Amino acid sequence: MTSQRTRNRLIQRLRQAGIANEQVLSVMANTPRHMFVDEALGQRAYEDTALPIGHGQTISQPYTVARMTEVLLQGGPCNKVLEIGTGSGYQTAILSPLVTKVYSVERIAALQKKAQQRIRQLKLRNVSMKLSDGGWGWPEVGPFDGILAAAAPETVPPTLLEQLAQGGRLVIPIGGDKQILMLITRTDGGFEHQELEAVNFVPFLPGVLR
Ligand code: SAH
pLDDT of res. 204: 98
In the chain, which residues have pLDDT < 50?
none
Catalytic residue among 60, 88, 96, 104: 60
pLDDT of res. 3: 82
pLDDT of res. 120: 98
Beta-strand ranges (E) seen in 13-143 are 51-54, 57-59, 80-84, 101-106, 127-131
HEC sequence for 70-100: HHHHCCCCCCEEEEECCCCCHHHHHHHHHCC
Ligand 1 centre from 188 Cα, in Å? 31
Ligand 1 centre from 50 Cα, in Å? 13
| Ligand 1 binding pocket includes 205 (Cβ within 6 Å) | yes
As a dihedral over the C-alpha atoms of residue 89, residue 91, residue 92, residue 97, rounded to 10 degrees, the angle is 140
pLDDT of res. 144: 98
- 50-199 to CATH, choices 1.20.1740.10, 3.40.50.150, 3.40.50.970, 3.40.50.1110: 3.40.50.150
CA of 88, closest atom in ligand 1: 8
CA of 111, closest atom in ligand 1: 13
| Contacts (Cβ under 8 Å, ≥6 apart) of 48 | 10, 13, 14, 17, 61, 62, 63
Nearest CA to ligand 1 atom 13: 87
Amino acid identity, position 205 = L
Task: Give dist(CA 60, CA 77) in Å, integer.
Answer: 23
pLDDT of res. 1: 59
Q: Which residues of 52-62 are buried (b: 16+ CB within 10 A; e: fewer)?
A: ebeeebbbbbb
| Ligand 1 binding pocket includes 114 (Cβ within 6 Å) | no
pLDDT of res. 29: 96
Ligand 1 centre from 155 Cα, in Å? 16
| Contacts (Cβ under 8 Å, ≥6 apart) of 46 | 1, 2, 6, 7, 9, 10, 33, 34, 62
As a dihedral over the C-alpha atoms of residue 136, residue 114, residue 145, residue 78, rounded to 10 degrees, the angle is 180
Where are the domains positioned within the chain?
50-199
Amino acid identity, position 132 = S
pLDDT of res. 35: 97
Q: Express each pLDDT in 56-93 by its tens digit.
A: 999 999 999 999 999 999 999 999 999 999 999 999 99
3 carries an active-site annotation: no
pTM over 0.85: yes
Helix (H, G, I), strand (E, B) or coil at 196: strand
